[in-house]
């Protein structure tokens, strides 16, 4: 399961079409171009230029500062008058410009740390409250509200109560092409019998939600990984069809790690689909054994106990060793690593004793 986090607001097609101030939108386009080129400092430069243009409407001024809030998630930005702002300071300034800016409320919610709150005009707001405020101003922000809810939590909007799942359904009903909402909706549905009804679209199971997400966004690594979890049988069992092509569980995880080689959970899951130490699977043209999938995952983060457990299960009894991070480990030593990281792991204790 992989929850997709909330989304920031950048520049919509409507903004690009309504160029009341051509220079302002040129600055935004230049900022976007530099962001796409990974040049965050130049991106900030053009947004500062936009935020300091004379005669801007409060809505446009708030948009410029709200976007600056996102690009100062790390570091700060200096205004033309020399004042320095961090990300929350930028979002607060956006709301000072226009307290009814859904963009500013959305980006403030995205900028807050988990559990964090910020005072705005005498009231304290956490991430969920910021997203809810944006939703009250613009009914298209259901997705972000869903991401801010815990699995059993609900939110009240205009006297009606909504669960996390219902927020994603609302997001899809408003925008059926929202791949992120389809992915996150799939995460909320129990397997295998669970399903949801979406007005105008019919009934969808967990797996069908992931298929829909991948039809809309084929490079979606999270949906490929989540899809793999729903499939029965490692490499030659059940298959799912996405855009006319069939995929096994193993092939879904291969797609996930090819798209994002740093996804340690996808590497771990890929290792689980390999049936013997001599079997190999190709990832981007490179063959990997079961061991190599697990050691690749541990190379990304050696503190994940279940990967050590899986590696221990994969190593035969005896003197065989597998190298991780320049050190070699036996089966027994892998289980010992599990217990260093998670002393209450009963399975690791049992396997170590045997």
**What's the pLDDT tens digit per position in 200-233?**
889 999 999 999 999 999 998 889 999 999 998 7
Do the beta carbons of residue 304 and residue 310 sit within 8 Å?
no
From the CB of residue 45, how many other CB atoms can be counted at a distance below 10 Å? 16
Share of the chain above pLDDT 70, in %: 90
Do the beta carbons of residue 124 and residue 118 sit within 8 Å?
yes
Angle (nearest 5°) at CA 305 between 300 and 311 = 80
Termini Cα distance of the chain: 32
Look up tokens 């992120």; give the residue. 180
pLDDT at 328 over 60: yes
pLDDT band of 80, cuts 50, 70, 90: low
pLDDT the model gives residue 268: 97
pLDDT at 28 over 80: no
Summarize pLDDT for 155-174 with one digit per residue, the tens.
999 999 999 999 999 999 99
pLDDT the model gives residue 4: 43
Summarize pLDDT for 7-20 with one digit per residue, the tens.
656 554 444 444 44
Summarize pLDDT for 269-312 with one digit per residue, the tens.
999 999 988 899 999 999 999 999 999 999 999 999 999 999 99
Residue 56 token pair: 């801007």
Summarize pLDDT for 110-128 with one digit per residue, the tens.
888 888 998 888 899 999 9
pLDDT at 92 over 50: yes
Angle (nearest 5°) at CA 146 between 144 and 148 = 75
- From residue 269, alpha-carbon distances to 189, 205, 235, 253 in Å are 20, 22, 12, 7
Question: Where is average pLDDT lowest: 12-16, 76-80, 112-116, 332-336?
Answer: 12-16
Name the more confident of 129 and 193. 129
Kind and range of the H or E run holding 286: strand 286-288
DSSP-based three-state secondary structure for 18: coil
- From residue 225, alpha-carbon distances to 25, 146, 187, 195 in Å are 38, 21, 11, 19
């Amino acid at each position: 399961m992989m929850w997709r986090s909330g989304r920031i607001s950048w520049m919509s097609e409507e903004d690009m079409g309504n160029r009341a101030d051509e220079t302002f939108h040129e600055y935004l386009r230049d900022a976007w171009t530099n962001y796409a080129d990974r040049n965050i400092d130049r991106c900030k430069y053009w947004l500062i230029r936009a935020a300091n243009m004379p005669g801007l409407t409060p809505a446009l001024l708030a948009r410029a500062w709200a976007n600056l809030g996102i690009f100062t998630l790390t570091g700060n930005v200096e205004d033309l008058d020399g004042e320095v702002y961090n990300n929350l300071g930028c979002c607060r300034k956006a709301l000072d410009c226009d307290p009814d800016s859904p963009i500013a409320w959305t980006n403030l919610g995205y900028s807050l740390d988990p559990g964090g709150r910020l005072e705005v005009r005498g009231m304290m707001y956490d991430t969920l409250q910021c997203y809810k405020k944006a939703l009250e101003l613009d009914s298209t922000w259901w997705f972000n509200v869903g991401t801010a809810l815990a699995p059993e939590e609900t939110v009240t909007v205009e006297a009606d109560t909504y669960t996390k799942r219902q927020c994603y359904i609302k997001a899809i009903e408003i925008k059926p092409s929202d791949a992120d909402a389809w992915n996150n909706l799939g995460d909320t549905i129990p397997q295998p019998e669970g399903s949801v009804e979406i007005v105008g679209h019919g009934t969808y199971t967990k797996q069908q939600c992931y298929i829909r997400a991948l039809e809309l966004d084929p490079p979606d690594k999270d949906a490929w990984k989540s899809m793999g979890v729903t499939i029965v049988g490692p490499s030659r069992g059940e298959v799912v069809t996405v855009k006319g092509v069939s995929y096994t569980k193993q092939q879904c995880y291969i797609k996930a790690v090819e798209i994002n080689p740093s996804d340690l959970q996808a590497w771990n899951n890929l290792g689980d689909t390999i049936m013997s130490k001599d079997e190999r699977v190709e990832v981007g043209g490179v063959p990997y054994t079961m061991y190599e999938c697990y050691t690749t995952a541990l190379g990304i983060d050696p503190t994940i106990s279940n990967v050590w457990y899986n590696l221990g299960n994969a190593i035969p009894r005896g003197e065989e060793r597998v190298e991780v991070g320049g050190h070699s480990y036996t089966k027994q030593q892998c289980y010992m690593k599990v217990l260093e990281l998670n002393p209450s792991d009963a399975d690791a204790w049992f396997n170590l004793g045997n």
